[in-house]
Structures are given as C-alpha cells and as structure tokens.
Amino acid sequence: MSVVCLRSVVCLLGRFPALTGLDLTVDEGEILLLSGPNGAGKTTLLRVLAGLLPIHSGTAEVLGYDLTQDRRGARRSLALVGHDTGCYDDLTVIENLRFAARASGRSADAVAPVLERLGLTRLGGVTHARLSAGQRRRLSLAAALVRDPSLLLLDEPHAGLDADGRETLDAVLAAAPGEGRTVVLVSHELERARALAHREVVITGGRVQSAAVPDASEPAAAASADVTDATGSAATPAPRVTLSADVSESPDVTVPR
C-alpha cells in the first residue's frame, strides 16, 4: 500500500519552480532516502509532503489524503523534523514535548518513553534556549516521535548530532518499519543513510533523476545511479545488483526489497 503517491507535481517558490513534474511513490513501512545536490528540491519535497507548501499542478496523495483538498487531514498522522526544532525557547524539554503530544491529540504520558529513548530524560527540566545544537536535534526528533506518526519526514537528521546521537537516531530509524512507520529521509551523509534506507531516490532540478536500492558501501559521490540490494543482514549478505537506474523517462521506480 502506498503512503505517498505524487504524480507530475509542480511546486513554485515565488516564480522559481522548485519541483518540476515530480513523480514519487513510497510504500508503507519503507525507509526512503532522498539524495541529490543542493537546491535540487529535496527540502521542498518534504515540505510538500508535510502539507506546508501547496502544489501548483499534479496530484499528491499522502496517507490517503489528497493534499490539494485536505492538507490538515494528512498532517494529523505525520511529523516533520526539519532544520528548525519547532520548539519554544522559554519552555523546558518536557513542556515542549507535552505541548507537541497534546496538540496532536495524544496523552502527555507519551512523553516519558520518548525522552528515555532519545536520551533526554536528564534534560527534561532544561529550557530549549539552553540546549546545545545536538540536544536540540534530539528534542526535534522527540517532538516528532511523541506524535506517533505513521509518516516520518526527516531533513538532514544526522546534522549536528554527536556519535551517540547518531547511533540513537539510526536505532530509531531502523525500528521505524517495525513500528508501522514510513520514513522519508533527506541526508547528505549518504553512507550512513544508505545503510538504513530500503530505497534511494535521486532528485535533480526538481524531479526524480533515478531510483535505486542503495548500497552503504558505495562512495558518496558516485552512488546515485547504482542500484544495490542492501537489505540483507550480515549473516546473509545481500547480492550486489547494479542496475542502470536512470529512470528519467519513467522516474518513479520501485525496486522490490
């Protein structure tokens, strides 16, 4: 079942066409990595999926909601971790998370397990203004998880995190499919992200250039067009399958996992 289904989506930022006829399908429980050069439209795509930006043509369906008709419906079941935390400087970590939980209709009891999971328990009484950049990234992820989203949209989630924070984030992402979550991830830390992703879609110039099953061992600069099955465990190493994945003519390609 598709959680995201975009067809010929065009999104203008002012007069600048940020997405230029983009097609994309994301299946339930999938971890999708979006890669591509700066300015390719990755962040814009995440904001379109989150219903924060309108589309100017094409069709966009997220979690069964038509984004041209009902952006609010989709938002109830998704969370976006962007460059900003979306939190308030003068509220403590716990207060920010309680607000996020209750605003999405969840009980404030949901906060404690998330705090523990992200290693924020001891910072619960600290205001957002006093957190370090890495701690703010963790809080941002916590504010997303406390909503228990079906679709988790992450924009450069590894940025600013220390080694421990990255491990924690990777564990959260790896567990996402088992928790019924679909993840769309934008990252420039390709090796790390590819190790987690089921599929990689390369975006260039506001449209999908290629789709592939990623290989974490691929050099970051060269891997965009190769398809490598990386879903096997260490005990059953995945066969390396390299396909010509330039799908610019038919850009929405799903490689079976």
Q: Which residue has the tokens 């079941």?
A: 77
CA distance 189 to 214: 13
Query: To the nearest whole angstrom, how small is the minimum distance from the Cβ of residue 102 to other proteins?
Result: 6
For the record, the structure tokens of 34 come out as 């979006």
Q: Which of 35, 43, 44, 85 binds other proteins (CB under 8 A)?
A: 85
Query: To the nearest whole angstrom, how small is the minimum distance from the Cβ of residue 106 to other proteins?
Result: 10
Q: Which of 23, 30, 61, 95 binds other proteins (CB under 8 A)?
A: 95
Number of chain residues interacting with other proteins (CB under 8 A): 30
For the record, the structure tokens of 184 come out as 């769309």
Whether the Cβ atoms of residue 68 and residue 6 lie closer than 8 Å to each other: no
Check residue 88 for interaction with other proteins (CB under 8 A).
yes
CA distance 169 to 162: 10
Burial of 116 (0-12, 13-18, 19+ CB in 10 A): exposed
Q: Per CB under 8 A, which of residues 127..186 are in contact with other proteins?
A: 127-128, 143
CA distance 133 to 39: 24
Check residue 102 for interaction with other proteins (CB under 8 A).
yes
Check residue 14 for interaction with other proteins (CB under 8 A).
no
CA distance 69 to 51: 10
Q: Which is nearer to other proteins, 17 or 73 (CB)?
A: 73
Greatest Cα pair distance, the chain, in angstroms, is 53
Site map (CB under 8 A) of other proteins, residues 34-53, x = contact: ----------------xxx-
Check residue 87 for interaction with other proteins (CB under 8 A).
yes
Check residue 108 for interaction with other proteins (CB under 8 A).
no
Check residue 124 for interaction with other proteins (CB under 8 A).
no
CA distance 230 to 193: 12
Q: Which is nearer to other proteins, 147 or 158 (CB)?
A: 147
Stretch that binds other proteins, among 34-42, 96-104, 111-119, 200-208 (CB under 8 A): 96-104
Outline where the chain has alpha helix (H). Answer: 42-49, 71-75, 93-103, 111-117, 133-145, 163-175, 190-196
Q: Which is nearer to other proteins, 47 or 207 (CB)?
A: 47
Q: Which is nearer to other proteins, 73 or 205 (CB)?
A: 73
Interface positions with other proteins (CB under 8 A):
50-52, 71-72, 75-76, 78-80, 82-91, 95, 99-100, 102-105, 127-128, 143
